[in-house]
Every structure is written in C-alpha cells, then in structure tokens.
Amino acid sequence: MSCHVVREHAGAGPAVLTLRSRPLRVALVGQPNVGKSVVFGRLTGRYVTVSNYPGTTVAITRGRALVGAQVCDIIDTPGVNALEGDVSEDERITRDVLTSDGADLIVQVADARNLRRALMLTAQIAAFGKPMVLALNMVDEAWARGISIDAADLSAVLGIPVVETVAIDGQGFSDLREALARAAVAGAPVGRTSIDRAAWANDLTGRVRRQSTLSLSRIPDLIARATRQPLTGLPILAVVLYALYLFVGVFGAQTLVRLLEDGVFGRGINPASIWLVDRFMPVPFVHDFLVGQYGLITMGLTYAIAIVLPVVTTFFLMFGFLEDSGYIPRLAIFCDRIFRVMGLNGKAVLPMVLGLGCDTMATMTTRILGTPKERLIAILLLALGIPCSAQLATILGILGGVSLAALMTLFVVVLGQMFLVGWLAARVLKGDRSEFIMELPPIRWPRLGNLLTKTRLRVWWYLGEAVPLFLAGTVLLFVLDRLGALIWISRVAEPVVTGLLGLPAATAQILVMGFLRRDYGAAGLFQLAHSGQLTGVQAVVALTVMTLFVPCVANFLIMVRERGLRVGLAIVGVITPVALLTGAGLNYVLHALDVHF
C-alpha cells in the first residue's frame, strides 16, 4: 500500500501524492463529538484527551502512524459543523488545515447515527478536492437504535471508500487502514448552497439508511432525560455537587492530605531529610535552603505533593467521570438564562466547568464560543472567579476544617463578584453574544480505561507544571527572606493586608506568592491556618482575595496568546483591584455583623 496506489485512485487528486520524501498527511475531520480523537489514538497509539462532549479538542494534534508501508502524519482536528460561512474559532482551525494545504488526504469521521448531517459535511469537504475516506463511527450505537447503513451502496454513490468502525473497540480499523490507499475525491455536489446540500443529503440518506421501528428505551436515555428536566435535573445537580464535595473535599482534601502531610511528610520525608542534611551537609545555609522554613523539601515539595496532589487527583477522577458521561453540557440548559445576563449563553458552561480542572486549559476551550465578546468575557470570568483544582484543594482543605458556612460565604461572594463583573463587562464591551444553540451529547457509561488514562495524564501534567513553579516560588521566598525583602514587603503591604483586609502581617508574603500561582499562595495559607494563625474570618477573607486573583503565570501567558498582551494586562488590571476591594468589603461586613466561623 504505497502512495502510488493512492494516486491511481485519487483521480483528480493533487499531484503531491506521487512519491514523496515526507509522510502522507492525513487529517481527521468531522462533526464535534464523533470520536476523531479516539480514531487518532487508534491509528497513532498516542493518547489525546477524549471526552463525551463537543469541543474537547480545540487545537491540532499530530502523530505518526505506519499504514502498510506508508508513513503517515495523522492530524487530529477540532470538530466542525460547517466549513463555510461564519465559523467559530475552533472550526476555523480545522478549516485552515484544509485550505492551507496542510493535508494530503482526509478521513471524515462521522457519527453513524446521524448520517444526514455527516453527508452535509461530506459535501463541503468534497469542495476542497482532496481524496477522502468516510468512516462511519459508533455503528454499534446506531445498531442499538435500529439504524443500519448500506455502506457499499453509499461508497458507490460517493465514489469513496466507506468503512464502518467502532473506534473505542478498534473495530473496523484494518478496513480503515486498507481504505486509505483507495481514498478518492468524493462525487458530492460542490459549491452549491447549504439548502441544496441538505436536500442532497436527505435523498442519499433515505436511499442508504434503514431505520427499523424498534426503539429501545435504554437506561442512559432515561438518565439523559432526567438530567435535563428541572424537576429531576436540579436535585441530580445537588447530589453530584455533594458527591464531589465528599470525594474531593472530605476524602481528598482531608483524609488523604492528612495522611500525606502529617504522615508521609510530617513523620517520614521531612524528618528524614532534615536528619540527612544535618548529618552530611551540616551547613546552616544548606539546611535552610532544603529543609528550613522556606525549604525546597519542607515547603515546596510538601505544598505540591502533600497538600495539593491528593485533591487534584481525586478531582480529576471525578471530573473525568462527569466528562465522559456526557453530563456537563446538560447543565447549559439551566445556566443559559443566568449566563445571558453576563453577555454569554449556556454554552459557556463548558469552559466554566472545565476551569475547575485548570483555568489555563479552559481559557483555550473558550474557542468554542461564538463571538469575540463572549470569549473575552469567559476568559475574564475564568481568571477572576473559577478556582482550579489545585486551588480548590486548598480552599476545601482550609475551610472544610472551619465550617460549611465559611465555605458557602466564599462561594457566594466569588459567584456574586463573577456575576457583577460579567454583568458590567456585558454592558461595557462592544459586540454581541451569540444565540444559544447547542448539541447535547448522549449519556454514556464512562470507560474505566479512558478515565484512568486521562486522570493519569492530567496528574502528570499537574506535577510537571505546578511542582517546578512551587519549587521556584519557594526559592524566591528563600532568597527574599535572606535579603530581608520579605520583612520589607510585609511592611509595605501592611496597610492593605492588616489594615484593609484584617489579616496577619505574615499573609503579605503569601499574597505576593499568590501572584505566581494562586494555589501556591493558598497552600501557604493552608499551613498558616493549620498552625492556628488564622481565624475563621481571616481564612475566608484571605481565600476570597486569593481566589479572585489571576490564577497563575501560565494562565496569564495563555490569555496573552489567545487575546494579546494588551487584553491580558487589562484583565490583570481589572482583577487585582476587584480582588482586593472585595476582600476589604468582606472583611468590613463580616466584622460589622460580628460573624465568627
């Protein structure tokens, strides 16, 4: 199966398909949530995040695959509903791959249950004049719904290979690999209006698709209905949030953290490191640097591994489960009206909820939103109010030990601020919001294998991203402390920290570190709270300020990359005073009302 074969069958295909020195570039294109990333993983052996909602993939991923004797570059693309007209930013990325001659061959991955829509896209892909293959994926789910497709007839009409696959199980992949060599330019209507394409797709679907009247009411379908109707959906949401709290807030942030912090680090690693350092390098400087108050091991590693890691892990597990079940997009129905006040629509629930995992990744997911204004507001609100998993760790760790009322106060204040800032931004910023039109993925049982792989990769990613910054922050603190700058910072910030916010002076340095990574700052608060230096009210105020800060350096850099330096700086310029003023206001109100948590 060499490229010669490809050319023979490619007909009018581009001449670049002759003997090549570079790999054959195969782009996987298709509607959102049809399983392109699973196909990518099957072909390349590389894992990219797979979830059960449209918009998981918002950037291009490439991977090598050997198909027969041909080396291929497989390109995973964001899902597209259309390649023409007004498209969202993630769709534009895919269109650019096709228009910029970034691909030699296209595999259209389609949801077999929804052939009509797939064919409308086929017609648009055909317009690019590249050889293609159609993979009807998830045929098992189609069969379960009584749908069958005459692939041979469809192939004859389109003039391209059509294969049926179940990517998640690897079914049909030898057929798919073999079909790549026979890829051809599709004989679909080219260059007509969308209505013409729709009529063509209607006719063709009627010809090759058989729908038996059997319609089984499957349990997932019942769950799907229950989750979107208010009477059952809202109680289900409450149960989900409570389960999240129990698993992450109690089991992760308290049981596991205590085990690691007091047990593994408190009794094992830290005393052992102190003993080792004092035994073999009895230099005061080395002692302080590694195992002192601002020591790399006793502070940096302890924060990253003992305090934050357990919560990040439990959170990613639970979160992955929710992602793969298809539950999260259903929340959009309930959020739509509230989000509209903030210049967004229900679709924004996806980046917002994803932000609980990582604000930086969620900032990229805002590409699925319809207008620049919506993207800007979503990015602003993510940076302002959505605590990422690592920060959630410290919030739950500290306030879980104070009281539920303290936790609620924090969430109410933060959500209130997001609402207020969103409302203002919707009025101040120019532009429109887009209309709420959203596809709801089916409810599916999550696959344990995917869940574990995804969680493992995310935990690794956390370790790679956060731990170095935690260590760098610790070194910075150590240096500042040595230079006497910490005392200076505390003194300069004292009017704000102790005066306005009513916090102990020691919090100043923690707030400064919060600029680097807000979960790092929060981890500092955690230790302060643990040693009894913070009252309940102080903990709530400090955490509120920290939550409202810009999440971390990485998040700032992504904001700059997505929206430019000016916007990035403007967002920081808005958020910082909002955070401090909110903290000051909260401190004032809590004291005026004489609240004790």
Partner 1 sequence: MSCTLLTFTSKAVPLSSLAVGQHGLVSSVSGAPTGRSDRLVSLGITPGAVVTMLQRFPGVVFFCDQTELAVERAVADAILVRPMEDVR
Q: Which residues bind partner 1 (CB under 8 A)?
A: 81-82, 84-86, 111, 113-114, 116-117, 120-121, 142, 145, 147, 194-195, 198-199, 202, 211, 213, 215, 224-225, 228-230, 332-334, 336-337, 340, 345-346, 434-440, 442
Distance CA 382, CA 568 (A): 13
Q: Which is nearer to partner 1, 225 or 596 (CB)?
A: 225
DSSP string, 65-93: EEETTEEEEEEE----S-SSSS--HHHHH
Minimum distance from residue 228 beta carbon to partner 1 (Å): 6
Minimum distance from residue 201 beta carbon to partner 1 (Å): 8
CA distances 578 to 95, 384, 392, 464, Å, are: 39, 9, 20, 31
Cβ 190 vs Cβ 140: under 8 Å: no
Residue 207 CB neighbour total at 10 angstroms? 11
CA distances 83 to 101, 122, 163, 367, Å, are: 15, 10, 23, 16
CA distances 516 to 7, 418, 462, Å, are: 54, 22, 15
Cβ 25 vs Cβ 103: under 8 Å: yes
Distance CA 126, CA 130 (A): 7
Q: Which is nearer to partner 1, 2 or 215 (CB)?
A: 215
Minimum distance from residue 143 beta carbon to partner 1 (Å): 12
Dihedral class, residue 45 (left if φ above 0, else alpha if ψ from -120 to 50, else beta): left
Encoding tokens for residue 251? 């089991």
The phi, psi pair for 509, rounded to 5°, reads -65, -30
Encoding tokens for residue 271? 């005393």
Minimum distance from residue 440 beta carbon to partner 1 (Å): 4
Distance CA 243, CA 378 (A): 27
Between CA 500 and CA 548, with CA 492 as vertex, the angle to 5 degrees is 50
Minimum distance from residue 58 beta carbon to partner 1 (Å): 18
Among 478, 365, 454, 381, which residue's Cα sits nearest to residue 423?
381
Cβ 443 vs Cβ 224: under 8 Å: yes
Q: Which is nearer to partner 1, 340 or 530 (CB)?
A: 340
Minimum distance from residue 488 beta carbon to partner 1 (Å): 54
Q: Which residue has the tokens 């709420």?
A: 436
Minimum distance from residue 437 beta carbon to partner 1 (Å): 5
Q: Which is nearer to partner 1, 331 or 477 (CB)?
A: 331
User: Which residues make beta-bridge pairs with 63?
Assistant: 74
Minimum distance from residue 516 beta carbon to partner 1 (Å): 40
Encoding tokens for residue 358? 């990582």
Minimum distance from residue 215 beta carbon to partner 1 (Å): 7
SS3 track for 106-155: EEEEEEHHHHHHHHHHHHHHHCCCCCEEEEEECHHHHHHCCEEECHHHHH
User: Which residues make beta-bridge pairs with 66?
Assistant: 71
Minimum distance from residue 210 beta carbon to partner 1 (Å): 11
Q: DSSP state, 168?
A: G
Encoding tokens for residue 293? 């108050």
User: Which residues make beta-bridge pairs with 29?
Assistant: 108
Distance CA 280, CA 303 (A): 25
Q: Which is nearer to partner 1, 142 or 188 (CB)?
A: 142
Minimum distance from residue 573 beta carbon to partner 1 (Å): 33
Among 123, 115, 92, 131, which residue's Cα sits nearest to residue 13?
131
Q: Which is nearer to partner 1, 86 or 262 (CB)?
A: 86
Q: Which residue has the tokens 């379908």?
A: 221
